[in-house]
Every structure is written in C-alpha cells, then in structure tokens.
Amino acid sequence: MKSSLFLLLFVVIGCSQTKSFNVENIELPKDQKAKSSNLWTKKYKSFYEDENFTVDQSCHGEFGGYITFTQKSSKNKYVLGATCPVIINNIDGKYYLTSTLAHLMASSEIVEIDNPLHLTLENPEIRSSETIKGKKVVLDSIGVFTLLSFKYDDTLFHITTDSKKMYLSEIKNGKFENVMTIAEKSFWSHDPISFETTDGHFVSIFENDQVDGYIEIIGNTIKIFTYR
C-alpha cells in the first residue's frame, strides 16, 4: 500500500520546553483515494461546536465569507466576516479562527475571538461577510496559504505553504515563523477541507491540478499522504 516512506524527527527548543515533531511522507496508489472518506469521523457535525455555541461557515472565494456563532441558550446568531474559514481552535477559552484564500497570491488570516457575544448580531440589512466587530487580528499575511491550524500542548501550530514548499509554522510578532520544512513541494487547495476527528486527530484534505492527498496530525506526528 505504501510506495515510499521517510521519517524525519525535528526538535523545537522553546524558552520553557522542548517540542518534537515526527514527519512522515507517504505515497499511496490512486485507487486508495475513494476509501479515504471513511478513514475518520468528524468531531463536529457543524464547523465547530462547544457547550455554548454552534458555529457554521460560508465561503464564496474571493467574494468573501463569514462564520455564524449560534448561542444555544438564546438561539441568537452572531456573525463575523472571514475569507475563507478553515478551522477554529479553542485555547484557554478563546476562539482562534483560521481563514485562507488561494486566489491570486494567496492569503491567510488568524483572528482571536474572546467572546462571540461581542460579534455582530445577525441582521438581514448587514452583509455578514463585511462584519469585523469583536475580533482581534493575530496575523494577516499575503503570499502564504494555510491548510490547517492545530493545537499541540496548548500551543497553536499551522501547516502553511508558499509557492515552493510546505512548512510547520508558529506565529511570532504577528508573522508566520517557519519551524521546519515538512515537504519540498507546495501543497494547496482551492477548497481545503480541514477538521478535528472524534479521536483527537487533525486532518486537512487538499487537491489541485498537480497533486492531491491529505495531512493527518496525531499528537506530534505529521503524516502527509499523496496519491500517485
């Protein structure tokens, strides 16, 4: 089933602790692609959910997108513009929304939402994709596409790609800092499908004219599967 595999161990030394990541690049035959949809069960039926909110997303490419927080107790809906939503991670009670767009030079945005009730209350007279209230911009980057953001040891990491390679990245001083190169090619998708699974894995499915496959993150192991 596997035509090639190599393992890379990289040690990231931080100020207070050491983090290590294993990277596996695995090639699969094309006929395995049809079976991939049965490999995981998504943690959320919606885009994201917790005890207080259900979150849905809408994306219209370069024409914009948004997320909707529906408060479970009141059923009120709160919206925030986002082009285009990829995934939400919750760290220390704050929501971190990753959005990305492959159009033109590619772009990425990471925003922090401290309290969804401070977002814009849904109103048919207000275009949801243009709302900005209640967010704190953590990163706004041009030329970088973000396939996935994931938590490891309460730290937010990102799988990013430019026109040449794919990286494991962190955010430092409002910019992506590449921790390591995880692929010598650029993997991206016009419509990436990224999610957390019921068993705590993080998955991103990518497809374009040149390559298709998926990334699965299990703890500190990053597995990159491509179909050949």
pTM above 0.75, yes or no: yes
> How many domains does the structure of the chain reveal?
1
pLDDT (mean) for 13-41: 79
Q: Residue 165 is part of which domain span?
A: 4-8+19-227
pLDDT tens-place string over residues 162-211? 999 999 999 999 999 999 999 999 988 888 899 999 999 999 999 988 88
Phi, psi of 9 (to 5 degrees): -110, 125
Asked whether residue 80 is domain-assigned, the answer is yes
Q: Is residue 13 part of a domain?
A: no
Query: Does the residue 14 lie in any domain?
Result: no
Is 7 or 89 the better-scoring residue by pLDDT?
A: 89
Distance CA 216, CA 202 (A): 6
Gap between the Cα atoms of 149 and 146, Å rounded: 8
Q: Is 158 part of a structural domain of the chain?
A: yes
Q: Helix/strand/coil (H, E, C) string of 156-186?
A: EEEEEECCCCEEEEEEECCEEEEEEEEECCC
